[in-house]
Amino acid sequence: MRKTDKKMIGETIYQYKILEKIGSGGMGVVYLAEDTRLNRQVALKFLPDQYISDENFKVRFMREAQAAAKLNHPNIITIYEVNEYNGHPFIAMELAEGKSLEEIIKGGELPTPKIIDISFQLCEGLKEAHKAGIVHRDIKPANIIINKNERCKILDFGLAAIQSDERLTGTRSFLGTVEYMSPEQVRGEKVDHRSDIFSLGVMLYEMITGQLPFKGDYVAGVIYSIINEIPEMLDKHRSALPGEFQSIIDRTLEKDRGMRYQNVEDLLTDLRKLRSGLGFDSSTAGPPSIAVLPFRDMSSQQDQEYFCDGIAEEVINALAQIENIRIVARTSSFAFKGQDTDIREIGRKLKVMSILEGSVRKAGERMRITAQLINVSDGYHLWSERYDCNFDDVFAIQDQISLSIVDNLKVKLLGGEKARLVKRYVVEPEAYKEFLTGIHFLRKVSEQNLYRSIDCFNKALEKYPNYSQAYAGISSAYIYLGFTDYAPPMEVFPKAKTMALKAIECEPDAGEGHTCMGFIKIYYEWDWEGARREFEKSLELQPNFITAHSGYACYFMAVGDLDEAIKHGKKAVEMDPLGLPSNMYLGLYYLRAGRLDLAREQIKRVIDIEPNVPQHHWLLGQTFILESKFDEGIGIIQKAVEMSNNNTLILGGLGWAYGVAGRAEEAYKIINTFKAKAEREYIRPFYIAKIYSALGENGLAFEWLDKAYDEHDISLFGIYSDETLSNIRSDPRFEKLLKKMRLI
């Protein structure tokens, strides 16, 4: 492979297409490449040609990959693959885009909060490495990249030494950049993790002062300074610094490693005290609040998405059972999936004090799970842990993560909350895998994926027949199939009820089964009091269960108590600030309460979150129709129909708008379209009834409402306050229908 850099450009090495050279020097030449298999950009690092014949350098290069590949942390560069091409070892790694700390220091004086922020992140990354028995040996500003979201990444574990490998750690050769070496390192002695702490102290001194603590005109002079001289005091270079800074520097730069910080955690403790004393911590009123982000899949095959999402959701569900904590709903926290958004920005959008993020790396039957609890106000870690385990151990790990969160957020557990917090039972591992896969498909909501989820849940039940959550999953899938018109209500809701009752039978103290029953009683059975009891029971068991809160709000809308619907709708939005259903339904409650300005404001907020959902545009158009602004409203709804490819819900809304606006011919055309489609697919009778109502065809409207009643059309659950039936509310037949539905 002895080619010029230009000849390398455009070559494809395995699945990597080389795009350009982006760096060289020291231990490698780095190219920007495209991973054509996974459709992402990566950095490829090759050992330089001049070192290929030197086995010592080759071993050192491969050691970088082997050491770093064992690490899995947000502040450490991720290694994807180690391989060899035509005798040239190379590493495929995460592409770290941003400025090096070296560039940032040269750019001028760093503000104190930024210095502390960077120091915290570097400590967290090194703590992970040291826990794995890995010493970096070359900590310096050039090996630190800070991206656009202020996330620090430690690069170049090329000089790392595994502590247990005596043949490597005992070398007396110079490894590293001399200005940042510890005294024991320049003397050629065996080094340990405390050498990295010394190097970190050198960087901290440089960030504060802009100067190196140990200097010399030649390498020998620098070495003499490191071994013998005391650095100048910080205040000689920078005034108005708190004294704690000097004491931290003094302890990190102790020449006797026995007097130095003995581990990074002790350094972190002092940095926390310094940070708190400077007033950089902020607090949020109310109970502790947290968002759990989807865990990142760090496996080489990128095939663990279902498990990464599942473990995050399990933690969310566990924390939802605690009253004295606010846990953000899955839909909002998962909105950041696959993004490299700064933790503080996520916290601001979700209005939380802390965030849990983590990752999963699976190799064979073994997996490594990491979790970090981060304080949003400053981006610092409150707690982090790494778990090396088999799949069978996952339940215990989920319990440990949940309990650690509660402990670190200083949440007082009430009554039996601790018992409910930990995993309710341990199921067969293969059953759990099928369950997580089922949840993965359930969240995608399309008809095909809903049936795939049912298949997965049934496979889980074959392996573990008393799996309450699997029964609840099947029930939820059937409810979705009915709600989205993929199947007639009378076909799927009885099945949903059977599964919900099985879930409750297997586990009466779990909220999922009760929530499913609540929706079944609202949408299908019109058992309002029964629905209220089910939702309240679910919220008693899981006070922060967003689905139960949303259902409870729907219950109040169904019985006509719109003030309570709005109250609980606001609660759902507070728990799920980026969730589309919770935000959309709050807009609907405002609309049905006649508070059209608030409805429009809320619906526009939903469109800002996700502009490509046609149902939201339809609802916005509806607000204009209710104000008799027909041209504007119809224009918006027509656009929504086009966006949705003639979705029947939205098309029915357009037909109603045409009828209200006096455009009868266009309204009748949509009615005829529905009648023709009903011969080959399920069409809600309610859609036709409301268009006839708008046209003043009361007899036909009630004929189709009776048909809707007979078929358990789920649109009827909101009939009490439905704005599209205003023309027929004074008709005695409407009161008769409300009595049949037990609404009066």
CATH topology of domain 612-744: 1.25.40
Report the 3 state secondary structure along 255-273: CCCCCCCCCHHHHHHHHHH
Give the pLDDT mean for 586-591.
Answer: 96
Q: Which residues belong to CATH 1.25.40.10 in the chain? A: 427-543
Contact indicator for 363, 69 with CB cutoff of 8 Å = no
Q: Give the span between the Cα atoms of 213 and 230, in whole angstroms.
A: 8
Fold of 5-94: Phosphorylase Kinase; domain 1 (3.30.200)
Computed over every residue of the chain, the mean pLDDT equals 88
Q: Fold for domain 289-423? A: Rossmann fold (3.40.50)
Question: In sequence order, what are the residues at sequence separation of 6 or more whose Cβ sits closer than 8 angstroms to the Cβ of residue 410?
Answer: 288
Q: What is the pLDDT of residues 301-339, one digit of tens each?
A: 778 888 888 889 888 888 888 888 889 998 899 999 888
For residue 11, how far is the Cα from the chain centroid?
36
Asked if residue 170 has pLDDT above 60, the reply is no
Rounded CA separation 14/3 (Å): 18
Per-residue pLDDT of 528-570, as tens digits, reads: 999 999 999 999 988 889 999 999 999 999 999 999 999 999 9
Read off the tokens for 125.
Answer: 């990354």
CB 550 within 8 A of CB 585: yes
pLDDT digits (tens, 9 = 90+) for 469-507: 999 999 999 999 999 999 999 999 999 999 999 999 999
pLDDT at 414 exceeding the cut of 80: no
Query: How many CB atoms are located within 10 Å of the residue 646 CB?
Result: 12
Report which of 226, 214, 155 is spatially closest to residue 185, judged by C-alpha positions: 226
Q: Give every CB contact of residue 647 below 8 A, 6+ residues apart in sequence.
A: 614, 615, 641
DSSP code at position 76:
B
3-class DSSP assignment, residue 352: coil
CATH 3.30.200.20 in the chain, residues? 5-94
How would you classify the pairing of strands 289-292 and 296-297? Answer: unpaired
- The CA distance from 126 to 146, in Å, is 16
Quickly list DSSP for 618-642. HHHHHHHHTTT-HHHHHHHHHHHHH
Q: Which of 241, 202, 240 has the alpha carbon at shortest distance from 222?
A: 202
Cα gap 538→552, rounded to integer Å: 10
Mean pLDDT score, 152-156: 88
User: What does the alpha-carbon distance between residue 207 and residue 201 come to, in Å, rounded to a whole number?
Assistant: 10
pLDDT value at residue 466: 93
CA 420 to chain centre: 24
| Range(s) of the chain covered by CATH 1.10.510.10 | 99-277
pLDDT in the model for residue 592: 95
CATH 3.30.70.1400 fits 99-277, yes or no: no
Distances (CA, A) of 236 to 116, 210, 211, 253, 479: 20, 12, 11, 17, 70
**Residue 144, SS3 per DSSP:** strand
Helix pair angle (468-483, 429-442), 10° resolution: 20
For the domain 427-543, what is the CATH code? 1.25.40.10
Residues 214, 178: Cα–Cα separation, whole Å: 10
Percent of the chain with pLDDT over 70: 91
Please give the Cα distance from 388 to 590 (Å, whole number). Answer: 50
Residue 424 has pLDDT above 70, yes or no: no
Residues shown for the chain: 744
Closest by CA to 333, choosing from 324, 315, 619, 323, is 315
Residue 82 has pLDDT above 60, yes or no: yes
Please answer whether residues 296 and 310 qualify as being in contact, where contact means their C-beta atoms are separated by less than 8 angstroms: no
Predicted confidence at residue 668, as pLDDT, reads 98
Helices 614-625/580-592 angle, 10° precision: 10
Task: Outline where 593-697 has alpha helix (H).
Answer: 596-609, 614-625, 630-644, 648-660, 664-677, 685-695
- Cβ–Cβ < 8 Å for 88, 28: no
Long-range contacts of 284-287 (CB under 8 A, 24+ apart): 284/351, 284/352, 284/353, 286/326, 287/324, 287/325, 287/326, 287/411
Q: What is the pTM of this model?
A: 0.66
- Burial class of residue 611, CB neighbours in 10 A (0-12, 13-18, 19+): exposed
Average pLDDT over residues 655-662: 97
The more confidently predicted of residues 123 and 299 is 123
Percent of the chain with pLDDT over 90: 56
Say if residues 200 and 136 touch (Cβ distance below 8 Å). Answer: no
How would residue 678 be classed by pLDDT, with cut points 50, 70 and 90?
Answer: very high
**E strands along 242-320, which residues?**
289-292, 296-297
Q: Does the pLDDT value for residue 26 go beyond 60?
A: no
Token pair in block for residue 567: 């109250």
- Give yes or no for residue 174 having a pLDDT over 70: no
Q: What is the DSSP string of 517-529?
A: HHHHIIIII--HH
CA pair distance 199, 132, nearest whole angstrom: 19
Give the residue range(s) of CATH 3.40.50.10070 domains in the chain.
289-423
The CA–CA distances, whole Å, from 486 to 489, 646, 648, 691 equal 9, 15, 11, 22
Query: For 146-174, what is the mean pLDDT?
Result: 60
Q: How confident is the model at residue 416 (pLDDT cuts 50, 70, 90)?
A: low
Six token digits for residue 268: 């972190």
Of 277-286, 350-359, 693-702, highest mean pLDDT: 693-702
pLDDT higher than 60, residue 297: yes
- How far apart CA 314 and CA 327 sit, in angstroms, is 12
Alpha-carbon distance 9 to 3, whole Å? 10
**Contacts of 169-173 spanning 24+ positions with Cβ under 8 A:** 169/135
For 631-650, the pLDDT digits (tens) are 999 999 999 999 999 999 99
